[in-house]
Amino acid sequence: MLSAAYAIWLREVKREIRERGRIIGNLFTPIIWLGIFGVGLGKSMRFSGVGTDYLTFLGPGIVAQTVLFSSIFAGVSVIYDREYGFLKEIMVAPISRAEIILGKVFGGATASMIQGTATLILVLFMGRGLLPNILGIILALGFMLLLSLALVGVGLVGASRMERAGGFQNIMRMLVMPLFFSSGALFPLNNLPEWLRILTILNPITYGVDAIRGSLLGISIHPLWFNFLILGGFTLSIILLGAHLLKGSEA
Amino acid sequence: MESGALLEIAIRTIGLTKRFGELTAVDHVSFEVRRGEIFGFLGPNGAGKTTTIRMLTTLLKPTEGTAEVWGHDILKERDAVRRSIGIVFQDPSLDDLLTGRENLEFHGRIYGIPKAERNRRIKELLELAQLSERADDLVRTYSGGMRRRLEIARGLMHHPKVLFLDEPTLGLDPQTRRAVWRYIQRMNKDEEITIFLTTHYMEEADYLCDRIAIIDYGRIVALDTPERLKSYVGGEVVHLKISETNQKILKRLSEEDFVQDIKMFREGFILTVKNGQRAVPRLIEVATKLGITVEECSIHMPNLEDVFLHYTGRRIREESAEKPIFRAMWMRGMRRR
């Protein structure tokens, strides 16, 4: 009886695929980060606690970044659906809010995984001394999915009360940069001042970055199961919150 | 399970009321829609038509009163109501990045229609809507009339018992409007479906509806077949356009025994008269004696416009044609609450 969730998922995926050029266009950002930022910084600085060369260290961080950027804006689709009237078609059907959320979340996550996987392939080619086994890649894909589910959830919560797409995008943009910079995607988290360390601990993305890096490189702060618990718990709560908020919102 | 009397009834409302703060949008409305009929809600913009539809389709909770749709209570049996109805909203609600077929498929899936039946139904409805050839084009490339037909077809995907159409031909050109009318009639016959529609176009209500409820300021002021509503006006209707209007002329004209009813407007009078052929020369004679020039004079059998005037003392066109912008803003305000 998940036919409605499937329909909503399928629609999101179709719309994503029909936006031609997006996948190629979105690969541009990680190429810049890795090719210029990663190569440049790696050549001119020495990092302690990296455990490998900087470009290799950065790779999993950029994979997480792609997932972060592409997931958190997925919530905007709810706002567009409301603006263009399509949300009414969904809201008037005899289906539960849970199914709507399920379809929306997995739809957004699937779109984001397409981007994330493209970046992952790029990273596997660019990183030096990076020869992860199949298990590592599968684990990394699993954590990417979990991370994108969490972030699509954040987007949906943000979108549930917003009327205009512009306002939503501004708020999300404000959120994205601090989340990205304090996640450990760009630098190791072992020599930080106390205030920044607390920030990284509170940031749910930290656990996603750590888990993806752990899966691909075997270098991580926390054990994978710990990252899984924290990230999984966060994902579950945010989706439940989103479902609750959508219940109160009118088409 | 259901009583005999109930079987004949598609929709029954009992004191249905909706207030938005100070504004009473729908005011203790009670009526019944019979199974198989095309029932029209006719009234000016802002009369409470859309609010009524939103309550009947469980999108909005009434402040007071309740309603039954196909025997299901709109408050207690929300999902059963939703399964029995199809809705075509006033504003477009198609996904224009999907094809026509995909829009129908989406609908079939969220209503849980199994694949084989879904495909058969899609084929059938595309033919009915005369969209078979364009089925696999993006809706983005469709004309206004095509979108409307697709939307109505989509509302029928899950074999609803009652189809709600909120201003089905709003914004369409006259030719397309006629095509949509014929399509609605065919649907009513071929699918044996009860249709509840709102409109502020008199010709539309007159052409399509078996029975019409005239709604004004949230209240039903009259309910009957178009023919009988028109007969209530009595006599024929004379429009008199004259150089000036004032109370004195109004009083003088109303003293004539053939005048049954008279209403004054900026540009002249609208009178209901007995024996119009003879009344008109008399009217002109009286006017001339008063020193007034009659600029234009027309006589016709009563139409729904006259019915509306008869019951409300106002003309429906004055409200609908001049305030489209105000209306749009008001609707947005409603939706946000």
CATH number of the domain bearing residue B290: 3.30.70.260
Q: Which residue has the higher pLDDT, A244 or B143?
A: B143
Please report which confidence band the pLDDT of residue B1 belongs to, taking 50, 70 and 90 as the band edges: very low
Nearest CA in chain A to B102: A11
Q: Is the pLDDT of residue B284 over 90?
A: no
A91 touches chain B (CB under 8 A): yes
A102 touches chain B (CB under 8 A): no
Alpha-carbon distance of A145 to B60, in angstroms, equals: 37
Q: Is the pLDDT of residue B319 over 60?
A: no
A86 touches chain B (CB under 8 A): yes
Q: Which residue has the higher pLDDT, B335 or B10?
A: B10
Asked if A93 and B336 come within 8 Å (Cβ–Cβ), the reply is no
Tokens found for residue B256: 């004539």
Name the domain boundary from B229, B253, B283.
B229
Residues B128 and B215 in one domain: yes
Name the domain boundary from B205, B229, B253.
B229
Of the candidates B87, B105, B112, which has its C-beta nearest A92's C-beta?
B87
Q: How many domains does chain B have?
A: 2
Q: Is the pLDDT of residue B314 over 60?
A: yes
Asked if A91 and B59 come within 8 Å (Cβ–Cβ), the reply is yes
The minimum CA-CA distance between A52 and chain B, rounded to whole Å, is: 46
Residues B44 and B13 in one domain: yes
pLDDT of residue B195: 96
Residues B285 and B196 in one domain: no
pLDDT of residue A26: 81
pLDDT (average), residues B88-110:
94
Which residues of chain A make contact with B87, given a CB cutoff of 8 A? 92
| CA distances in angstroms from A183 to A39, A42, A115, A202, A211, listed in the order given | 20, 19, 19, 9, 12
A111 touches chain B (CB under 8 A): no
Asked if A92 and B82 come within 8 Å (Cβ–Cβ), the reply is yes
Provide the Cα torsion B181, B182, B186, B188; round to 10°.
20
* Cα angle: B66, vertex B68, B72; to 5 degrees: 120
Indicate the length of chain A as a whole number: 251
pLDDT of residue B7: 61
Residues B218 and B251 in one domain: no
Asked if B112 and A14 come within 8 Å (Cβ–Cβ), the reply is no
Winning range, highest mean pLDDT, from A86-95, B100-109, B271-280: B100-109
Q: Is the pLDDT of residue B32 over 80?
A: yes
A85 touches chain B (CB under 8 A): yes
Which residues of chain A make contact with B111, given a CB cutoff of 8 A? 93-94
Return the residue in B106, B117, B162, B167 with the most chain A beta carbons within 10 A, the one to mutate for interface testing: B106
Please report which confidence band the pLDDT of residue B277 belongs to, taking 50, 70 and 90 as the band edges: confident
Which residues of chain A make contact with B109, given a CB cutoff of 8 A? 3-4, 6-7, 10
The minimum CA-CA distance between A12 and chain B, rounded to whole Å, is: 10
The residue type at B73: D
Residues B129 and B252 in one domain: no
Domain encompassing residue B116:
4-229
Residues B77 and B175 in one domain: yes
Asked if A92 and B109 come within 8 Å (Cβ–Cβ), the reply is no
The minimum CA-CA distance between B169 and chain A, rounded to whole Å, is: 17
pLDDT of residue B320: 41
Asked if A93 and B110 come within 8 Å (Cβ–Cβ), the reply is yes
Residues B153 and B211 in one domain: yes
Within a domain: residue B326? no
Please report which confidence band the pLDDT of residue B223 belongs to, taking 50, 70 and 90 as the band edges: very high
Within a domain: residue B306? no
pLDDT of residue B207: 93
Residues B223 and B92 in one domain: yes
Return the residue in A86, A87, A99, A164 with the most chain B beta carbons within 10 A, the one to mutate for interface testing: A86
* Cα angle: B97, vertex B172, B81; to 5 degrees: 70
Q: Is the pLDDT of residue B251 over 90?
A: no
Nearest to B102 by CA among A156, A13, A115: A13
Q: Give chain B's end-to-end CA distance (angstroms, integer).
A: 38
Cβ neighbour number for residue B172 with a 10 Å cutoff:
17
Asked if A86 and B94 come within 8 Å (Cβ–Cβ), the reply is yes
- The 3-state DSSP class for residue B24 equals strand
Within a domain: residue B183? yes
Within a domain: residue B320? no
Which residues of chain A make contact with B112, given a CB cutoff of 8 A? 1, 3-4
| CA distances in angstroms from A36 to A52, A124, A177, A189, B81, listed in the order given | 18, 17, 19, 22, 60
Residues B52 and B148 in one domain: yes
| CA distances in angstroms from B133 to B122, B124, B137, B154, listed in the order given | 13, 13, 9, 17
Asked if B89 and A94 come within 8 Å (Cβ–Cβ), the reply is no
pLDDT (average), residues B214-240:
88
pLDDT (average), residues B146-165:
93
Which residues of chain A make contact with B83, given a CB cutoff of 8 A? 94
ipTM: 0.84
Question: For the whole model, what pTM was predicted?
Answer: 0.81
Nearest CA in chain B to A10: B106
Tokens found for residue B56: 């009947």
- Bridge-based pairing of strands B268-273 and B219-224 is unpaired
Residues B187 and B73 in one domain: yes
pLDDT of residue B239: 83
The minimum CA-CA distance between B95 and chain A, rounded to whole Å, is: 6
Asked if B89 and A1 come within 8 Å (Cβ–Cβ), the reply is no
Asked if A8 and B110 come within 8 Å (Cβ–Cβ), the reply is yes
pLDDT (average), residues B152-176:
91
Within a domain: residue B137? yes
Name the domain boundary from B196, B229, B262.
B229
Q: Which residue has the higher pLDDT, B70 or B273?
A: B70
Look at A124-128, B214-218, B271-275 and tell me which has the smallest mean pLDDT: A124-128
Residues B241 and B217 in one domain: no
Within a domain: residue B54? yes
Asked if A7 and B106 come within 8 Å (Cβ–Cβ), the reply is yes
Contacts with B, A 126-165, CB within 8 Å = 163
Percent of all residues in chain B with a pLDDT value above 70, rounded to a whole number: 91
Within a domain: residue B159? yes
Tokens 């509306």 locate to: B308
Q: What is the pLDDT of residues B164-175, one digit of tens each?
A: 999 999 888 888
Mean pLDDT, rounded, of chain B: 86
Question: What is the CATH classification number for the domain harbouring B134?
Answer: 3.40.50.300
Q: Is the pLDDT of residue B5 over 70?
A: no
Residues of B with CB under 8 A from a CB of A: 57-59, 78-80, 82-83, 87, 89, 91-98, 102, 105-107, 109-112, 154, 335-337
Look at A220-224, B46-50, B130-134, B285-289 and tell me which has the smallest mean pLDDT: B285-289
Within a domain: residue B310? no
Of the candidates A6, A86, A91, which has its C-beta nearest B109's C-beta?
A6
Residues B186 and B259 in one domain: no
Q: Residue-wise pLDDT tens for chain A (251 aa)?
A: 689 999 999 999 998 888 767 777 888 889 999 889 988 888 888 777 777 888 888 999 999 999 999 898 888 888 888 888 898 899 889 988 888 888 999 999 999 999 999 999 988 887 655 566 788 899 999 999 999 999 999 988 888 878 788 888 888 888 899 999 999 999 888 888 999 999 999 999 999 999 999 999 888 899 999 999 999 999 999 988 887 887 655 54
